[in-house]
Structure 1
């Protein structure tokens, strides 16, 4: 079965906005002790695909040992959006991303599934002028795996015809749980090669990566394989 549906994470895949997201958490919690600040930022970077809601809960419940209400989580998440949204809108596009969307819009159906807040994510994509490329733009507070499965079900997409392009372990885990293939973007969060996952430096390399995925799962004849070009 040929790939027909491509699903993108946003930060680190379509926009060079990971550092903006990381700095936003520093600015959101300026009064943390030095030790907690370091450990929290390490957690944030190691869990790049986790929603802000999950990161805020982790800080309070697991690192500070404090309970936090849903209202307070939502309040802090809203403040975080105010801190970062404008900078994310202005962030540079990942090289090759705009070209890929334009060139392959007739070849694939596209969607975005991100850990970013869904309302903010849709506003950001609209402001960047790319929302029209996507059949759906899904984000938190729902988890990525839930959104991937919901996307495929609501649009009738066969999981075997889908590829998810992400840059974090949360992304690759969500793809595995949803039963879809995965390509990792080398944004600095994960060494994909060491994990046996196809990694690309930018989206100029995505067509070759998809061809490589296709070749890996195509039955071999006489011990040889061939690559179809998309």
Structure 2
């Protein structure tokens, strides 16, 4: 597989551009220090299986699992605490090896789109601080749904699905690609999940083989 064969590439962020999946996994667990091992295991497994899904969906669910009232006040409180934990840590985390060079080698006629579960204003700020905003034609964060972003982007540019690729690290990324009939490249972050164990398609650990 050559990345140059695609007219549009959709990029997840955590685990694909930045090695930050473990940061968010730990942050979700740290939100609930009183949770027992069973609940913590359940949270970790759910997060890893659904890496591309927004914290706005996950945190209310995790509150429920911890028998904490799922109120607007509690949701806002836990969202703010989560954001405080992860933003700087994500910026300071390691790049996925080779990804900076691959992004910088983008062809003139290619379209690069970030599509992530990170909130819109947060991902825009992170990308700006990393000095890679000029490499991406569009940046989509939560509450945008990945499948809808792919669908609308293919119409907007317009680009045939056979000329499109999604690079992600989770089952939800794969589903967004599959629902739109585009190719999927699994960036395996090394975090064990049922999806990682069962996925049989194209898989990479990092981008050094594309240099």
Q: Which moved more, 1:95-104 or 1:52-61?
A: 52-61
**Kept after mapping to 2: 8 A contact 1:105/1:133:** no
Q: Distance between the aligned counterparts of 2:69 and 2:158, measured in 1?
A: 40
**Correspondent of 1:197 among 198, 201, 204:** 201
**Kept after mapping to 2: 8 A contact 1:112/1:136:** yes
Gaps of 5+ in 1: 208-230
Structure 2 counterparts to residues 1-230 of structure 1, below 5 A: 2-61=5-64, 63-64=65-66, 68-70=70-72, 72-189=74-191, 194-206=198-210
Task: State the secondary structure of the residue aligned to 2:105.
Answer: helix
Cα pair distance change 1:41/1:4, threshold 3 Å? same
1:55-96 deviation per Cα after TM superposition (whole angstroms, max 9, x unaligned): 1122134x2456524554344223211111001011111111
1:125-175 deviation per Cα after TM superposition (whole angstroms, max 9, x unaligned): 111111110011111123221222233334433322110001111110111
Cα pair distance change 1:69/1:5, threshold 3 Å? same
1:80-123 deviation per Cα after TM superposition (whole angstroms, max 9, x unaligned): 11111001011111111010011124252111111122211111
Q: Distance between the aligned counterparts of 2:76 and 2:137, measured in 1?
A: 27
Q: Distance between the aligned counterparts of 1:193 and 1:68, measured in 2?
A: 33
Cα pair distance change 1:65/1:206, threshold 3 Å? farther
**Kept after mapping to 2: 8 A contact 1:13/1:94:** yes
Task: State the secondary structure of the residue aligned to 2:137.
Answer: strand
Q: CA deviation at 1:206?
A: 4.5
Q: CA deviation at 1:36?
A: 1.9
Q: CA deviation at 1:3?
A: 2.0
- TM-score w.r.t. the length of structure 2 is 0.86
Corresponding residue for 1:226?
A: none
**Kept after mapping to 1: 8 A contact 2:168/2:184:** yes
Q: CA deviation at 1:52?
A: 0.9
Structure of greater relative contact order (alpha carbons < 8 Å, 6+ residues apart): 2
Number of equivalences: 205
State which structure, 1 or 2, has the greater radius of gyration over its C-alpha atoms. Answer: 1
- TM-score w.r.t. the length of structure 1 is 0.79
